[in-house]
Amino acid sequence: MDKEGHKYIFVIGGVMSGVGKGVVTSSMGLILQSKGYPVNLVKVDPYLNVDAGTMNPTEHGETFVLKSGLETDQDMGNYERFLGRDLTSDDYMTSGMVYQTVIERERALKYGGKCVEAIPHVRDEIIRRVEAAASYNGSRLSVIEIGGTVGDFQNALFMEAARVMKMRMPNDVLFVMVSYLPVPGTLGEMKSKPTQNAVRDLNSYGIQPDFLIARAPHPLDDKRKEKLAVACSVPPDHVISAPDIKSIYDAPLNFENDRLGDMLLGALKLPAKKSSGLAAWRNFVKRINTAKKEVKIAIVGKYFDTGDYVLSDAYLSVIEAIKFSSAALNVKPAITWINAKHFETGKAKVAMLSQFDGVIVPGGFGESGIEGKIKAIEYARTRKIPYFGLCYGMQLMTVEYARNVVGMKGANTMEIDIKTPYPVVAVMEDQKEKIKDGKMGGTMRLGTYPAYLKKGSIARAAYKQEMVQERHRHRYEINDHYVPELEKAGLVFSGTSPDRSLMEIAELPKSVHPFMLGTQFHPELQARPLTPHPLFTEFIKTAIAKKK
């Protein structure tokens, strides 16, 4: 594709991490798209991991799996949810990926005997990737978020790549700095100095920001706006106030109140187009903010604690999927995190689950907390509390059924117990070799695969389709050796791979339980604000019905 005239907006963080660069990037994407410009969003993660799949979720939040199977940062999930479309592998890069390409090229003698160096070789590989992402389906604009904060050693080469792109295409590249203005408790006054210093740091890379997004607990007053504009040489109307908000989905609407979209287009000299606008989005946000009736959902998991803090980021897409379906049904979700280990140690009793309208066991790995999860599943099954199992949650639902209904004492997944007498969940055939060779990064069953749905099942009724495409991330699967016995005892495998060898959905008939369903895939990865996921919607619907 001809990339002539393609525009690039780099989003760079100042002062500290975690102030919402991802939400700013997603919002700009949605706004520009709503103004008639197909947008491409790109995430740059400066760490050396080749993808986000090898990190513990308590380190870095959820691993978001793209349609292609690439394991990426959770920001990619927000990008897809705001844009309302799938992103591709080109839209994500880490330093590890960039270096891997350069080193592989060097090993193949592709540098013609030259000394291979950070500049120009690594830098140019970054630029090549940014430009490759720009070729998406006629998009005119890319918004590229550089992870981390200005001044980090790790992202210096990405800054340099961005500087060089600006130098080559002065009219086509913009810089947006997302910074933070603290209000120290002892002073009670909003301070702009850290942001001024961050801009100076950015200047030292040869980059001048065109816009400043000022994140702060409160809106920015005129005095500070003026001060930032003067000190950082940014036009006052390019200093955008971004106070804390209730929901990230409010962000694009707030930015639009400040006419951010028109100003970005103006700065890029792109004409305003007749646009679809944000009406549907506005409607969705209104529903989120006005729903009153509560539906209480328990998430029984394990990746919650980081030091003294509780982190729900590990299950970000699950939470968002619950929100979208709840908004569609006009209810407000109240989500409670339950550490599965507490059901094992006695710190919490499973009977406490009776106060919830629905229980979710999300994806997970390893031994920790699984007996607690199995107890929770048994409780949900026997008390007829709507239950939704996601990946590990489906595998453990099958283990529970095997143990407590079929009578397979000691049944387990081979991930935990390789000597179990009933390995109802077993390692996938093609995984054995990979595990033996220690080839663990990016080798799970990843990305989108089709599943066929059984007539008359809950899944089929919810999807209203015979075939669905869903995203996966697992090494283990339901052991087909035990399928006939499990089915005889009442468990229904209502979704299977086209050749019927892989069980993709398990459920109990509605006559036995209102909603007891697990998926081998991760439906939460495809739930979007304007198109909630049918299985989540069905789950929330039965949770509301239980309430009555």
Catalytic positions: 391, 522, 524
Which of 391, 478, 428, 334 has its CA nearest to residue 62? 391
Piece of 15-23, 193-201, 375-383, 473-481 that binds ligand GLN (CB under 6 A):
473-481
**Min. distance of Cβ 88 from ligand GLN in angstroms?**
22
- The whole-angstrom separation of Cα 70 and Cα 212 is 32
Buried b (16+ CB within 10 A) or exposed e, 141-155: bbbbbbbbbbbbeeb
Q: Is 148 in the site for ligand GLN (CB under 6 A)?
A: no
Instruction: Rank residues 65 and 298 by Cβ distance to ligand GLN and give the closer one.
Output: 65
**Min. distance of Cβ 438 from ligand GLN in angstroms?**
16
Among 22, 363, 518, 532, contact with ligand GLN (rule: CB under 6 A): 363
Piece of 145-153, 289-297, 299-307, 388-396 that binds ligand GLN (CB under 6 A):
388-396
Q: Is 474 in the site for ligand GLN (CB under 6 A)?
A: yes
Binding mask 310-349 for ligand GLN (x = CB under 6 A): ----------------------------------------
**Min. distance of Cβ 20 from ligand GLN in angstroms?**
27
Site for ligand GLN in 225-284 (CB under 6 A): none
Residue 240 to residues 4, 13, 247, 260: CA-CA distances in angstroms? Answer: 30, 14, 18, 8
Rg (CA), the chain: 25
Which of 353, 377, 364 has its CA nearest to residue 296? 353
Q: Token pair 């933070």 is at which residue? A: 180
Calculate the CA dihedral of residues 44, 48, 53, 56 and round it to 10 degrees.
-110
- The whole-angstrom separation of Cα 50 and Cα 384 is 43
Site for ligand GLN in 405-424 (CB under 6 A): 415
Q: Is 391 in the site for ligand GLN (CB under 6 A)?
A: yes
Angle between helices 123-133 and 95-107 (to 10 degrees): 110
Among 255, 476, 482, 493, contact with ligand GLN (rule: CB under 6 A): 476
Q: Is 471 in the site for ligand GLN (CB under 6 A)?
A: no
Helices (H), 70-175: 74-83, 95-107, 123-133, 156-168
Piece of 110-118, 156-164, 260-268, 390-398 that binds ligand GLN (CB under 6 A):
390-398
**Min. distance of Cβ 362 from ligand GLN in angstroms?**
7
- The whole-angstrom separation of Cα 375 and Cα 325 is 27
Piece of 31-39, 86-94, 179-187, 357-365 that binds ligand GLN (CB under 6 A):
357-365
- The whole-angstrom separation of Cα 1 and Cα 138 is 8
- The whole-angstrom separation of Cα 141 and Cα 28 is 11
Piece of 106-114, 183-191, 254-262, 363-371 that binds ligand GLN (CB under 6 A):
363-371
Q: Is 515 in the site for ligand GLN (CB under 6 A)?
A: no
**DSSP string for residues in 351-413:** GGGGG-SEEEE----SSTTHHHHHHHHHHHHHTT--EEEETHHHHHHHHHHIIIII--TT-EE
Q: Is 524 in the site for ligand GLN (CB under 6 A)?
A: no
Q: Is 364 in the site for ligand GLN (CB under 6 A)?
A: yes
Instruction: Rank residues 225 and 373 by Cβ distance to ligand GLN and give the closer one.
Output: 373
**Min. distance of Cβ 508 from ligand GLN in angstroms?**
20
Binding mask 7-46 for ligand GLN (x = CB under 6 A): ----------------------------------------
- The whole-angstrom separation of Cα 206 and Cα 79 is 28
Piece of 68-76, 211-219, 351-359, 361-369 that binds ligand GLN (CB under 6 A):
361-369
Segments of 430-526 assigned E as strands: 445-453, 467-474, 476-478, 492-496, 503-507, 516-519
**DSSP string for residues in 282-315:** HHHHHHHHH--SEEEEEEEESTTEETTEE--GGG
Total interface residues for ligand GLN by CB under 6 A: 11
Binding site for ligand GLN (CB under 6 A): 363-365, 391-392, 395, 415, 473-476
